[in-house]
């Protein structure tokens, strides 16, 4: 088991598979590095070094009371990258993890970074505002925080429905996958789970994403009920210079599981390009 201790004393768990050019994965809310097992296995088998970590407060990392903001998340990544001395790394972020890797790039620079991949990401701006009318209303996030505080296990179990799109005809998500997802989510700190809702909904990455200079791939399902594509992926693709957008028809939020083979193949092709 890999573990580093950050400058504020938080322990960050990571897994490190394979050898070759490194690919660093940042997971979604409220999950852990385990959500990446299909992509990590695929890339490690094809000659790459796959590294994934549990965000502070989640999975096997420690559960500090505070630090659930994107500057701190980016600093945690920086310390992990430096600890492992990763060079020419491909950064991959899913959902709220997209913000982690974007903020790492804009806060710590691209000196160690080769490419960027954003999958079902909340970037560049999730919440509705006067200058972002297509965003999600703040009441939705208030309801999420209240639901977690009231009955976290049931809320997260219900959340799986839109996360995986099991309310859509023809959904083929197994009971095992849903059980695993709930199990992973319940490992997290309730405080971190609540605080991260504020972080991923209210952080505005629009200005800094325009400064990204590394090759960028954006993957998003057009039936994402959790992070709608219009105010996120499509806007991101118009902001990041030269970004490539791949839209998966009919795909829900959890593309890394429901469309795992397609995501793995597209990741490999982009890294090799």
* CA distance linking residue 86 with residue 80, whole number of Å: 9
Catalytic residue among 253, 259, 264, 266: 253
For residue 248, how many other CB atoms are within 10 A of its CB? 21
* DSSP label of 273: -
* CA distance linking residue 27 with residue 30, whole number of Å: 8
- The question of whether 131 is a catalytic residue gets the answer no
Mean pLDDT, residues 170-189: 96
Residue 57, CA distances (Å) to 61, 68, 131, 140, 192 in order: 6, 8, 32, 23, 5
- The question of whether 95 is a catalytic residue gets the answer yes
Catalytic residue among 75, 76, 224, 266: 224
Looking at the structure, give the CATH architecture of the domain made up of residues 2-272: 3-Layer(aba) Sandwich (3.40)
To the nearest whole percent, how much of the chain has pLDDT over 70? Answer: 100
pLDDT band at 164 (very low <50, low <70, confident <90, very high): very high
Confidence (pLDDT) at 78: 98
* Residues contacting residue 112 through CB under 8 Å, at least 6 positions apart: 81, 86, 87, 88, 89
- The question of whether 253 is a catalytic residue gets the answer yes
Asked if the model's pLDDT at residue 58 lies above 90, the reply is yes
What is the model's pTM? Answer: 0.97
Closest CA to 184 of 61, 23, 16, 42: 61
pLDDT in tens, 237-272: 999 999 999 999 999 999 999 999 999 999 999 999
Confidence (pLDDT) at 252: 98
151: burial class by Cβ within 10 Å (0-12, 13-18, 19+)? exposed
Asked if the model's pLDDT at residue 1 lies above 80, the reply is no
């Amino acid at each position: 088991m890999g573990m580093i201790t950050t400058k504020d004393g938080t322990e960050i768990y990571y897994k490190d598979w394979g050898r070759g050019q490194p690919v660093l994965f940042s997971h979604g809310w409220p999950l852990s590095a385990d959500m990446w097992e299909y992509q990590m296995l695929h890339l490690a088998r094809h000659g790459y070094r796959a590294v994934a970590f549990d965000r502070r407060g989640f999975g096997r990392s420690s559960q500090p009371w505070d630090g659930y903001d994107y500057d701190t998340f980016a600093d945690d990544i920086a310390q992990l990258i430096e600890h492992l001395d990763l060079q020419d790394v491909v950064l991959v972020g899913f959902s709220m993890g997209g913000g982690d890797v974007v903020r790492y790039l804009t806060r710590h620079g691209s000196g160690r970074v080769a490419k960027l991949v954003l999958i079902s990401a909340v970037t560049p701006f999730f919440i509705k505002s006067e200058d972002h009318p297509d965003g999600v209303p703040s009441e939705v996030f208030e309801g999420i925080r209240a639901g977690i505080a009231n009955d976290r296990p049931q809320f997260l179990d219900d959340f799986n429905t839109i996360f995986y799109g099991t309310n859509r005809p023809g959904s083929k998500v197994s009971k095992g996958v849903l059980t695993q997802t709930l199990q992973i989510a319940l490992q997290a700190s309730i405080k971190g789970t609540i605080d991260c809702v504020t972080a991923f909904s209210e952080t505005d990455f629009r200005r800094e994403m325009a400064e990204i200079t590394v090759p960028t791939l954006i993957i998003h399902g057009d039936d994402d009920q959790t992070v709608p594509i219009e105010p996120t992926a499509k806007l991101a693709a118009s902001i990041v210079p030269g970004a490539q957008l791949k839209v998966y028809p009919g795909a829900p939020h959890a593309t890394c599981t429901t469309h795992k083979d397609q995501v793995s193949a597209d990741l490999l092709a982009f890294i090799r390009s």
